[in-house]
Chain A
Amino acid sequence: MTITLTVNGSPRTLDCEVHHSLLEVLRDRLGLTGTKECCGEGECGACTVLLNGRAVNACLVLAVECDGEAVRTVEGLAADGHLDPLQQAFVDTAAVQCGFCIPGMIVAAHYLLSTNPCPSVEEIKDGLAGNLCRCAGYSRIVSAVRMAAEKGQGQD
């Protein structure tokens, strides 16, 4: 099937099979390997992307469902070569250990701040409950999101 979707602001047209997930198309067809594949069944959040502005698991969305829709991946957050405040907060708080979960964490946190610009610690934990970090770096991840919220991320 031929589909056209907007990825990080640019329209992309490609052929894909019905059984291809959005995740497979992003990584294997569009070369956007920031979005990670891990559990493949919506448990871990490593493949979190924004679909029409909402955080979803790209492994549980078929690429054909995205025909005509807008997808934003972790690659689409930085502008003009500068990290956005949330990404910078992950660096500044040393929230990144092995790094595998971080793209999904950052996209999920980005969505959280877009819906709730000043979340409490409990709200941050709830907002990231669908993202697993096997390094168990959760407390610094929560600190990073708090720092970004204090710097006004999400209020734009």
Chain B
Amino acid sequence: LGSEPRTGTGVRPLYARPESLDELFDLLRAHPAARLLAGGTDLLVRLRKGSGMPPALVDLKRVAELSNRVVRTGNVIRIGARAVLTDIAAETPIREQFPALVEATLVVGSVQIRNRATIAGNICNASPAADTTPALIAYDACVTLISRGQSRTLPVEQFVAGPGRTLLAPGEIVASIDLPVPAEHTGSAFGRLTRRHGVDLAIVNLCCVVRESGSARFAFGAVGPRPFAVNTRQDAPLGELATYARPISDLRAGADYRLAMVPVLARRTLNTAVSRMQAPGSR
């Protein structure tokens, strides 16, 4: 990544590829400023663009206890920390239960990016415009964090705390992302507005989950410092959804345009979600 590492210390950066959690937690204790590396599709761009190499890079790809699979246990579908987007979108339990997550996953970057990027990395990067995060939030996903001898579980909506900021504590890593299988019949859809189809970040993105009780849960991205959810009803006026949004203007779109598109995209996505719920054979 460029000619010289910029650690600012004159010391060569360390690269470590632990094979167990034990080894990993030792490394994190010895190198508190280490950066965790999974797919690297965000991290390496950032390192190259100026933040320079950290004193240590700890690669998670060979940690035996971290899964790269999607596994159903009871009413929870668990995505392992090392699972990459291409594989997640191909997993039957995800395709059957969480179609909007498949849609969100398949618009991230390009094939090359999705072959490398993990969904755990996507939420840890905490981009306000991340595509998988609104889908995870709309489906009430939780993230399980582990540190040595400890484990805690948080809703993804809380975990992503602000632009580039999460509630991950020092010495803590993401072990899995857990999706509860809905007890009730649902329909869901992902919507996204971009300037071009491939390799672009969203102007607005959202996921909508509807239930037969008449409820509608929306989760929005790219219209605030972090993705957020709004619970409403399918027959509620959608114009008021814009009051929850706090968009900025950037090279992709102005704040006014983003605000105007919130109800438009919400309507389209709600309609798709409802028609999927009502489709014959959708049960």
Cβ contact within 8 Å between B112 and A56? yes
Cβ contact within 8 Å between B15 and A56? no
Cβ contact within 8 Å between B59 and A65? yes
- Residue among B12, B13, B45 with max Cβ neighbours from chain A (10 Å): B45
Residues of B near A59 (CB, < 8 A) are 44
Comparing A15-23, A76-84, A87-95, the segment that makes contact with chain B is A15-23
Instruction: Point out residues on A near B: beta carbons under 8 Å.
Output: 1, 17-21, 40-43, 45, 48, 51, 54-57, 59-62, 64-65, 67, 108, 111-112, 126-127, 129-131
CA distance A19 to B37 in the complex (A): 13
Contact with A along B53-77 (1 / 0, CB 8 A): 1000101010000000000000000
Cβ contact within 8 Å between B45 and A60? yes
B215 at the interface (CB under 8 A from A): no
Chain B nearest CB: distance from A89 CB in Å? Answer: 19
How many A-B Cβ pairs are below 8 Å?
94
12 contacts between A and B (CB under 8 A): A18-B15, A19-B47, A42-B109, A54-B86, A55-B115, A59-B44, A60-B116, A65-B59, A108-B112, A129-B110, A129-B111, A129-B198
CA distance A126 to B114 in the complex (A): 12
CA distance A129 to B57 in the complex (A): 30
Docked complex: B103-129 residues within 8 A CB-CB of A: 109-113, 115-116
Nearest B residue to A24 via CB reads B1
**Helix, strand, loop or mixed for chain B's interface?**
loop
* Given A21-B1, A41-B45, A42-B112, 14 other A-B residues pairs in contact with their CB atoms under 8 A: A18-B14, A40-B48, A42-B109, A55-B111, A56-B112, A59-B44, A61-B116, A62-B1, A62-B15, A62-B37, A64-B15, A130-B110, A130-B113, A131-B110
Interface size class of B (residues with CB under 8 A): 20 to 34
Docked complex: B5-36 residues within 8 A CB-CB of A: 5, 12-15, 17
Residues of A near B198 (CB, < 8 A) are 126, 129-130
Nearest A residue to B84 via CB reads A54
Chain A nearest CB: distance from B41 CB in Å? Answer: 5
Contact with A along B89-115 (1 / 0, CB 8 A): 000000000000000000001111101
B199 at the interface (CB under 8 A from A): yes
Given the known interface contacts A60-B41, A64-B15, the answer about A17 and B5 at a Cβ–Cβ threshold of 8 Å is yes
